[in-house]
Structures are given as C-alpha cells and as structure tokens.
Structure 1
Amino acid sequence: MAFDFITEQLAERHRQGLYRCSTSMSGAQGRLLHVADKTYLNFSSNDYLGMAADPKLIKAWQKGAELYGIGSGGSYLVTGFNQTHQALCDQLKLWLGVESVALFSSGYSANQAIIKLLLKKPDLLFQDKLNHASLMEAALLSDCTMRRFKHNNVDHLESLLSISNKSSTLDGNKLIISEGVFSMDGDTAPVNTLHATAKKYDAWLMIDDAHGLGVVGENGKGSVEACGIANKNLQIYMATFGKALGVGGAFVAGSKELINYINNFSKPYIYSTGLPPAMAYTITQAAKMAETQDWRRDKLQVLITTFRKTATNLGISLTDSQTAIQPIIIGDSVKTLQIADKLKTLGFWTTAIRPPTVAVGTARLRITLTVNHEENDVVQLVNAIYRVLNDK
C-alpha cells in the first residue's frame, strides 16, 4: 500500500509514548493558561519578558494595521518591504549595534536559509551536538560536510577543526554554529572561546540567539554581548521575535555584504512573503521596550533565583541553567508524561519534552519562567513538583 509508513510510524510513536498533538487553548498568552473549562498556571511559555499580551503592544498592532495594513502583499524584493520593515531593521541595528539586517518569517526559515546559502561541497559545518533541529536538518539538506562537537566543549571542537585542516579533501570554508541559550537545557554557550577558536582556524561563527535576545546581556542585547563580544564582531547573528519580544518572525544580522548576498541569492528570503506590516510595526515597539525596560530582566532574575533556591532546598536535582529555561530531567518518556499529567491535576502546565526533541533517556519537564509569574507562583510549582516526584 502506498505510503503505508505513515500509519506504521504513527503507531510506533504511540507505542513508545512519543505521540504528539496540539492542545487548543483560549485567551491571550500569559500567566494563566485556559484549556477547555480548566485554568492552569502556565510554566511552558517562551514569552520570557511577558510581552505577548502587553496592552501597549496590542495597541501598537492596531495602530500598525491602521497605518500600514495587515498584509505585505509580496516578497521583500517586490512590494513587501514597507517603510515599517525598514524602521524595524534600523531599530535592530541601533539596539544591537549590528551593520545590517535581513528579516525572515521564522527562526527555522532563517537557519535553513543561511546554511543552504553559504555551504556547499567541500565546505565544513561544525555544530554543537545540542543545536536546534532547524540547524541540524539544514545541514543534512546541504551538500556540506557536518561535524558535531560535544555540547559546549570547545576542546573537542578544536580537535575537529585541527583534523580538518590536515585533510586534503576537507579544505572548504568552515562555519561554526551554536545556540546562545540552548532551548531545551537553558545553559549558555561559551561564545568568547568559540569566537577565539573560529578566528584561530579562519572559520566563521554563527550564534542562534532565539532564547537569548532580550533576556541576557546589557539592555537585552543577547548572548554574544553577555560574553563581552560586540554583536558586530560576529559574522552571523540570528534571533527571533516570537520569544522574549512576544510577537513573531526572525532576523539575521551581519555585514552589509552578507545581507546583500542574502537579498540576491537566498531563495527562502527572495521567494517568501514579507512579514505583515502591522507585525513589523509591533516588533519595532517591542524591541524598544525590551531594550529599555530593565525591570523585566530584573524580575525574571528574581524568579530564576527563587526557583533554583526553593528546588535545591527540597533536594530536587537541577541542571546548570541560570536562565529562564529550567529543565528537570526525568529520563523515561512515559514517566515524564505521567508527571506532567499529575502536575496538571494540581493546576500547573509543564510540558513533557521527549525524544526526538531531546536525546533518548533525557526526557524532561521543560519549565520556563516569565515576567508574568510572581514569586509565590514559582514556590507553589516547586512544592508541587516535589510532591509529585516523591508521590506525596
């Protein structure tokens, strides 16, 4: 039977406890999450700065729609690049200190575009083993050779680079990619040593800062600046607008020459409809808020400290993450689902993350903290986790 693998693979996902489906939720993104007739404290959102339903941004979207409409009408190189898109690019350049910017519909699209655009045979791509699926898949679709280095292990990366330098068949361009803040683990990349290593081996460095922009670094400038390196000194910086900034879309920043190259040769950029103008207008306002409202980052840090201190006092095992992403590793996928379901009965929404998103044997509760939370919310969550883990 044609395409019978579909039925077979779905059945296998069910057997392994790895089947997924979307849950319909009502209301705006925020502290509380509403599903059917039940309400939960939401500890699974990437809305780290609590901006996704901010009244100022809702009004900005309305104003943007009135001024520029709701659809861009075409790709950026046809009729889809409005003055509000230019204003967004200018705001990002001003805030982040980068030379030039290209807008994309998503971080997934941006990552795929960059790898497919820049890497051919016999080029080499060096990726942190825990990089996002969009980066890994793009490498598999590219003609380049990919090498994966142990997570945050620059010594291993350097050994791979050294081997490639001695090979007569692997003599192309070299690109190193790492996330700034890792999406499933919450730990941060050693950007300064990655930068130095890239320079030593004449390689380019790209940082995917989807979970770092707005959250870390002075004025929320991200993971690169947090490590003491100016964003403009990085060859490729990618980040998204759908997490800390609370809206949607993504961008790639780099030299004027790189962005001009994207404009002329990147098919995902050239042949995609531009972001809705109202959205671009809203993102510009969100970027200004993220840059100037340090109180959001200050409150988030208080919540992170509260979570870690309370969990440690109760003997709950934590990872090294110092960011808003606080995973609790359970291991077994079925057990992780059961724990997440028990927490739902207690009023807490904590998503169970399972393979293939994470490695086999590392299923986890991916707990995320946002500015929408209060300290008491966090304490209640940790106490509930303690009771569930200890069957109390």
Structure 2
Amino acid sequence: MRVLLSTYGTRGDVEPLVALAVRLRELGVQVRMCAPPDEEFARRLAGLGVDLVPVGPPVKELMRGAGVPSAADLARYRAEMLDAQFDIFPAAADGCDALVAAGLAQIAARSVAEAAGIRYVYTCYAAVNLPSPYHAPPPRPGWPEPAASDNLALWGLDAENVNAQFREPLNGHRASLGLPPVDNVRDHVYSDRPWLAADPVLGAWRGTPGLDVTQTGAWFLPDERPLPADLSAFLDAGTPPVYVGFGSMTPAPDIARRAVEAIRAQGHRVLVSRGWAGLDLAGDRDDCFAVGEVSHQSLFPRVAAVVHHGGAGTTVTAARAGAPQVVVPLQLADNPYWASRVAALDVGAALDGATLTDDDLDVAVKTVLAPQTRARAEALGARIHTDGAAVAARLLHEALR
C-alpha cells in the first residue's frame, strides 16, 4: 500500500503532512511526498525516511520580502505551479493507491488521481477554508477582495476568482488526459468529502449542506527535543518570558519591535524567535533572548504568553500548552480566523496589525498576563488531546484495505 501526499507552502503547510506520513508508515504504508524543495524540508523528510518529490520553487525565496509577493507575481507563480504539478504528479503518483492533497494550491491533484484511478482526499487546516454560511472566505492574496452582503454570496465570488485564474488552464490539462472539463475549480479541488485537520475544541466545523466534512483533529507529532542549554539557562534565570515569533512569515517592520517594547515596559522578560524573517531584537539587555528553531512543544509550557501571527500550528501548540496568546495576524489564509478563535475562546487577544496602536499592545499584554486569562488557557489546553494524524492515518488505511 502506497500513498502520495502533496502540499506547497511554508513549514505550517508541510509539517501536518509530515505527521500524517509518520502515522501512515507506522501502519505499514509506504509514503512519498510532493513538497517545496527547501533544504529544511528535504532534511526533515530524509530524516524520517520519506521520499521527497520536489515541486515548485523554494518557498523561503518567495517569502524573503516583507509581506507577500505582488498580485502579478502571484498570478505567474500560480500558473507555473499548475503546469509543474501536471508535469510531476503523474510520475509521483505511479504505483500509489491514494493521493492526499493539502491546500487550494493543489489544483492538479484531483485530476491526476482521477486519471490514475486512485483515491483522492483533500484536506485543509482550518474550517475557514471550506465554504460555509457561518464564515466568509479567507483572504487570498493577489485576487480581488470579494464584496457582498452575506457569506454564501462571498463564497460564490471567491469561486469566480479561482475560476478566472485556473479554469481554462486546468481544463486544457484535463483534456490532454482524456478527462471532462470542470466548471467550479475550487469545489472540484475541495471535493464534496474533504477532511479538516484542525482540533475540534479550538476550531470546530459547524456544517454546510452538501459538504460532508470529516474533522480528524490537528495533525502533529510529539516533539520532545530538549531545549538548547543557553535557552534553558535564560528560562531558569527569572520569571517566565513572553514569546514573540512569526514563524515563516515576515511581519510589518515595526510590529515585533513594538511588541517587545510593550512587554518590557510592563516589566516582563521577552523571548524572540528569529524565524524566517531573522528577527533579533534582544540588544545587549539581559531581559531579552533571541532563539532559532526549537521545539515549541517543549518551550511553550515554560512561557507566560505567546505573541504570534496566527498560524494553525503555532495556535494549536500554544493552546495545548495552556499558554495565553496575542495574535497579530497577517491578512492572508487562515491567520485572521485563528486570531478570531483565540479571542472568541477568551484565551488571549486578537489585534489588527494594520491599525495597531501602542495602547492596543499594552492592553493585549495586560490581558494575556492576567491570572484569569492563564486559567482559561490552561483549562482549554486540558481539553485538546486528539491525535488527528493518527485518526486520519487509520481512516485512510481502512478505506484502502
């Protein structure tokens, strides 16, 4: 039994599929993965014995500038990615029994699975990515922002934007494979039975007529790596610090600095994660420490709060650790959704980076450091225990048997 997994994006897009790959291998399933060719992903997969099939340009190169690429660049990247997928996926899927695709960027995946006669599973990491009357579509950089009076109308306009970019080239490729054309590209990619790899305590699916969603829980692996000695020494030297990090994202130039200043102004120590943006705001003061890539599962139980961009992985890891959160989301993908969930669950604060004032930051820091916020966060964390990757692996294994 062999499965092809495919995604394209930053670490937050790749790591959940890594977790699924590991759980599938524990069941005796052979796995290969289509993913960006970034060196850190290649090392990660090689260390686990999972074959990497590189697709597209390195993501880290695309993320070097502040914010996201221009609309023109994004349109070009998307067109080139579609062609690359149709070039690479058929050989990658050869001999496989199923193709699991994560994210809307996987436009070619279902067509390739259909042509090969194998099972296709689409998955996403947040409920906001699936059409529903209960929420609007997530921000999609480079495409016109849909404007309508209700959520279902917004989802209709969202489908039109996806069609404008992809319908003609997708159907051209499908014709070359002997497949009929599709009318709604987005819904074709999603299928009518998608999987939702998100924790139901943190972000439950509320249901949509005609869409049979299987919510497995978030996909992650235990990460028991010890913390570096210098980081452990910093943690041991005083009260728990507030963590500030934006992962693979590049925040607005002054947001991280202002967050550090707001935390220091209230007499708290700060731990800054350099991330892909290379943040290093420690200076020569001993109340701030900069750290590279470490186990968040080992670190977050030892911090007073987590300030981050709203990535699905960071949000669930902080929640599982019982750490209050301040989310300053980038206006793309599921970041605003996770910020709204943190606020709705009353385990932190959600801030708008575009209109952020120093007073907003001061209030947010005070909120997350209040004992009652910590108590709510710890209570929430105690309820999050589903191993979504194991659930998904069992579901797929049983279906293929």
TM-score for both structures, normalised by structure 1: 0.31
Higher RCO (Cα < 8 Å, 6 or more apart): 1
Q: If the length of structure 2 is used for normalisation, what is the TM-score? A: 0.31
